[in-house]
Structure 1
């Protein structure tokens, strides 16, 4: 049995829960109260090197980082979600966008809307005075514009005929854009892509 160490409000945890649902894989969830700092223990560090959620235990293997987990699950249980060789590079590039551009724009911007600024600063590792919300907004607009441009010419981010783990990686926080006060209607190709993902068999929405 797979075990997912999870927080229901985390977009990174959501993308793993969504993928597990899409591939029909049973698992058990263990709630980790990161707001109460329950992740900051030596025991959890043995599972997740940076004490972050999500983390996954698969038999005797511990995997941390949402993108590493998605790729582990795809390679072991759902290879159809991996891009074929001509699009492999594009798949990994868009996973990198999720881990870098989205993680440094939409993800922290949304955090400043759903928790206090003091709590957001703690999770981002900066002082509250250094929270650059206008900068987050600018970076968010930039990455969403580029995603929208890509999706205006391709149904899926990797340029494949079917979704790949890259779509799930980027969808995790794109699904929560409204919680960052983003009007997704201004990005029509992203809006259409989100709807395509919602129509996939097994889809589950964000939330507990």
Structure 2
């Protein structure tokens, strides 16, 4: 069984939990208390090179960290139907790259400033609290969402066919309201979110009903 090192509020962890549920793959979840800095240990560094969640351990294989890498690994090994056809492969990887760059530098940190304290957000973003530019993050977020909305106005799925890129980008686009974004202003994104939410196996952020029980607080992973 796959072990998932997880934090329930993380959008990065959510995209992995969601994909595991969509492909019907059982997992054992280990809660890593990142707010208590439980990930800042040499032991956890052996699981995740940059001490970040999520990470997975698939049997006796070497651990895999980074949510984007985890999704691609799971798709290639267990759910090839989520890999785009060869003529759409470039688009799939391009939109995964958008998740790792544009979303990770706009919507993702903007949401963080709303759900934790300013000091905690600054710590995780690696900046001084006085340097947090929330207004700038809001502008970047709206530019990113406008690009998504245009793409999804023209196509049902990001890579034309449904692929792992949709789950990757959905992880934080599903949480846009927590960043203070009204998704009604982006109707194509809203419709795309509904399509994902209608898929068999879909679980909402924070819904643990279809997951294996937690192993509790991980202070010494």
| TMscore range, shorter length | over 0.9
Give deviations 1:29-80, integer Å, cap 9, x for gaps.
0000000000000000001000000000012221000000000000000000
Query: TM-score, length-normalised on structure 2?
Result: 0.92
Paired residue secondary structure (1:61)? coil
Match of 2:136 in 1: 135
Q: State yes or no: 1:7 paired with 2:10.
A: no
- Between stretches 194-203 and 52-61, larger displacement belongs to 52-61
* Map 1:160-175 → 2, pairs under 5 A: 160=161, 163-175=162-174
* Map 1:49-198 → 2, pairs under 5 A: 49-59=49-59, 60-160=61-161, 163-198=162-197
How many angstroms apart in 2 are the aligned matches of 1:61 and 1:78? 20
Name the count of aligned residue pairs.
Answer: 206
Match of 1:32 in 2: 32
Paired residue secondary structure (1:152)? helix
Match of 1:199 in 2: 198
Deviation, 1:159, is 1.2
Paired residue secondary structure (2:154)? coil
Gap regions ≥5 residues in structure 2? 208-221
Q: Indicate the structure whose relative CO is greater, using CA pairs within 8 Å and at least 6 residues apart.
A: 2
How many angstroms apart in 2 are the aligned matches of 1:165 and 1:134? 31
How many angstroms apart in 2 are the aligned matches of 1:157 and 1:135? 26
How many angstroms apart in 2 are the aligned matches of 1:54 and 1:26? 16
How many angstroms apart in 1 are the aligned matches of 2:202 and 2:46? 31
Deviation, 1:121, is 0.2
How many angstroms apart in 1 are the aligned matches of 2:28 and 2:191? 32
Gap regions ≥5 residues in structure 1? none
How many angstroms apart in 2 are the aligned matches of 1:140 and 1:93? 18
